[in-house]
Every structure is written in structure tokens, then in C-alpha cells.
Amino acid sequence: MNYFRTAILLAGLTALFMGIGFMIGGGSGALIALVVAGGMNLFAYWNSDRMVLSMHGAQEVDARSAPDLYAMVAALAQRANLPMPKVYIMDNPQPNAFATGRNPENSAVAVTTGLLQRLNEDEVAGVVAHELAHIANRDTLIMTITATIAGAISMLGNFALFSGGNRNNGMGMIGTLAMVILAPLAAMLVQMAISRTREYAADRLGAQISGQPLALASALAKISSLAHAIPNDTAEQSPATAHMFIINPLSGERMDNLFSTHPAAENRIAALQQMAGASGRPFLPQQGGRGGPSGGPWGSASRRSGGSGPWG
């Protein structure tokens, strides 16, 4: 059902893009808009991952530079039957993470130093498993296409305003102005609706990959609390990438409505608790920050103090 809903929303977004093209140039304008959308998506397909990682200053790490994190990602990727993604660390105090890439064979998982410093090992594993779920579900490609089309709609809307639109479409200047205002808003709502749908699916699959839904629930609680207390300057400068993170990195009030890029953390946590309860496991909030339990299946938890070592 989630995939069907996502397909419908993507189709609506594409139709909206073509509608603005029609408003500007009639039938030929709609066709040109479709061709432009295809070209933009093709460019995004091949280059979006590098662009997003560069925006957030992510640095690639390996088994030598970040052995614990790398071993964790490798173990979880194996559990999920996924190729080993590239692993990146962002020097950012806000705990957060995202995944990117056009397919599982060309994917990457990026986590912040704040995430590695403030969450325990099981919680970090839950977050990484969530991001691997996005890769497995092909969400990284879906969200890239969505962001590209949404951005193009805003660009076309502005062009329609300055060009005066298609004078033969019967809308007139007032109709054109209304379209300029409403079309980007509609695109934003569709983009957010798609993102919210995919987050619930990634939580569910991520909990299955890690085998610890309560650890992921605890991670979401911590990240949600800290994300609004610790600014993420790079995300504020590139707000179009906010929907890619596990928790919205932008400052602002958390609300589970159409104007939120993510479902409310409380709702996601409740769903994970219900998932754990269905398997007969009681809810035990994960206590403590960095350091956490060691000796788990993710490799040694030899986290160092002072922000150095493999955990940033």
C-alpha cells in the first residue's frame, strides 16, 4: 500500500510539473516540461549522491579510519542482504544520519559525529539499519527524484509569473498568479507526504534488520530531542535535503501534519514499541549516551573520548 501511495504521489507531482508547463506554453510547453523533468532526473540519478554528501561536508571512512563504525555497517548490510555501502562521517554536533545513492550497488550511509558521540552502540546500529532500509526500499532514488521535480516546479512557477503565462489558457493574470503560489505549495506537500510514508516503512524494516526495535525507538527519542537543541548549520543552508535525514535537522516545532517532512517522533516510537510488543519484548528505554553497552554483534565498542578515534 505504501508503494502504491508513493507511486500515486509521484505521478501527481509529475502532472503538476506538466500543468505548469502547459500554463506557460500550452501543449508544447507541457511536452517541454516533461522532457526537462526527464533530463533533470537523469542528472540527479548519476550525481545526486555526490552533491548531497558534498553539501554536508561528509568524509568517507574505511575499516582503518573508523573500524567500529565500518564493522557495524558491514554486519548490518550483510543481515539485510545488501552490498556494502560507502560509509561517511559528517563533522556535525547534531546527532543525525541519512542515506543516499541511486541503487544498493551505488549507495552511501552518512552519520554525524554527534550521533556517534551521544548514542550508545545499539542505538547507532538501529539508526544505521534504518538508513540501510531506505537503500533496500530504493527510497534514496525516490526522494532524489521528488526533490528534483519539486524544485523544478518552483522554478517554473517563477518563470510563469515573469512571462505572464500562456495567454490562451483562459486563466488570466490572476489565475497565473494563483498557480505560481499554489503549485510550489502543492509540490512541497506532495514531497513531504512521500517522505513521511517512506519513514514509517524504513523504521519497520530497519527494526527487522537490527533485530532491536526498542533501540531504534530510543535513538529516535534522543535524536528528536537533541536535533532541535543543537543547530545543523549545513542543513539550514540546504533545507531541500532535510527530508533525507532520519529526523528533521531543521529548527522548528515538531508537528505530525502535512507541513512536516517527517512523521512525529512520538508516533514512530509508538509504532516501534508496538512492533516490539507484538514479539513479546517489553519496552526498556535505552539509557546513557556515548559508550553504551559493548561486546555486541557490531564489533568492539572502543569509543574514545574527546571526539577522536573511529567515532568522530
Question: Are the beta carbons of 126 and 212 closer than 8 angstroms?
Answer: yes
For the chain, the 3-state helix, strand and coil shares in percent, each to the nearest 5, are 65, 10, 30
Question: Are the beta carbons of 265 and 130 closer than 8 angstroms?
Answer: no
Helix (H, G, I), strand (E, B) or coil at 274: helix
Burial class (CB in 10 A: 0-12, 13-18, 19+), 156: buried
C-alpha cell at 175: 489565475
111: nearest Cα among 281, 300, 246 = 246
Burial class (CB in 10 A: 0-12, 13-18, 19+), 302: exposed
Q: Catalytic annotation on 121?
A: no
Put residue 7 in one of left, alpha, beta given phi > 0 → left and psi -120 to 50 → alpha: alpha
Burial class (CB in 10 A: 0-12, 13-18, 19+), 287: exposed
Helix (H, G, I), strand (E, B) or coil at 70: helix
Catalytic residue among 121, 123, 131, 199: 131
Q: How far is the C-alpha of 29 from the C-alpha of 19, rounded, in Å?
A: 9
Q: What is the per-residue DSSP string for 95-143?
A: --EEEEEEETTEEEEEEEHHHHHHS-HHHHHHHHHHHHHHHHTTHHHHH
DSSP state of 64: T
Which residues are designated catalytic?
Answer: 131
